[in-house]
């Protein structure tokens, strides 16, 4: 027998070859993996953008006007759905767009944050030395305004228009709020269409982490 004669190679049976193909599938190509990862990343970014646009927002407190409730530099989370689902209520702390050039700032830097004192139909007043009065009821605001502060040293009397709110800062002696803009086109009131969100939580600094108190009991029965 010719020892140099090559023996024919045994080929696997057809069924065995197909079985090997099924049990050893090829790995996804690098390009496919990169495309999959990019799609997931894009979906996550899009989800965050949509949440920020329509569900919640994060805001930095720029001034002392809401002390002692909110301090300069505090970071708050605010719901953009609440104003549309349940409406804006007395006692809420709202973030809103400058309604009538209250701020001397450029475009895109026009957010303010204040507490809602009156809603549509309310009569809000103060004599300059005592309590703020809503619909004939003096408000006990000691739980959120500056300790020892007069609720309003500025006398005023106003009826809140339909579709508007009357707002004041908790730091009454250092807040250019509705009281200071009654000669403006909106009479110092904020149209509800300008309200961006309702502040719910402080998340920074960590020692101030927690829910923002809404004193609903103070406004009960109005």
Q: Which residues are catalytic?
A: 65, 114
CB distance 157 to 186 below 8 Å: no
Measured CA distances, 4 to 7, 8, 9 (Å): 9, 12, 15
Nearest 5°: CA angle at 210, between 80 and 176?
A: 60
Residue 142 has which token pair? 């000691």
Distance in angstroms (rounded) separating the CA atoms of residues 99 and 120: 16
Q: In what order do the strands lie in the sheet with 137-138?
A: 137-138, 133-134, 123-126, 156-159
- Residue whose structure tokens are 């605001």: 141
């Amino acid at each position: 027998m010719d020892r140099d004669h090559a023996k024919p190679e045994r080929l696997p049976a057809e069924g065995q070859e197909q079985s090997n193909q099924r049990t050893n599938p090829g790995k996804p190509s690098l390009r496919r993996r990169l495309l999959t990862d990019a799609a997931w990343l894009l979906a996550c970014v899009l989800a965050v953008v949509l949440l920020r646009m329509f569900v919640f927002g994060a805001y930095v407190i720029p001034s002392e006007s809401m002390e002692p409730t909110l301090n300069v530099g505090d970071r708050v989370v605010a719901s953009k759905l609440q104003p549309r689902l349940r409406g804006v209520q007395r006692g809420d702390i709202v973030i809103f767009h400058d309604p009538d050039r209250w701020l001397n700032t450029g475009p895109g830097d026009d957010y303010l944050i204040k507490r809602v004192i009156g809603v549509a139909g309310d009569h809000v007043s103060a004599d300059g030395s005592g309590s703020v009065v809503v619909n004939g009821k003096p408000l006990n605001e000691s739980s959120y305004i500056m300790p020892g502060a007069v609720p309003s040293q500025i006398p005023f009397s106003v009826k809140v228009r339909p579709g508007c709110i009357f707002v004041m800062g908790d730091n009454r002696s250092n807040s250019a709020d509705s009281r200071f803009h009654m000669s403006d086109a909106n009479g110092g009131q904020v149209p509800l269409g300008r309200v961006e969100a309702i502040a719910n939580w402080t998340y920074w600094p960590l020692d101030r982490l927690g829910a923002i108190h809404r004193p609903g009991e103070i406004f009960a029965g109005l």
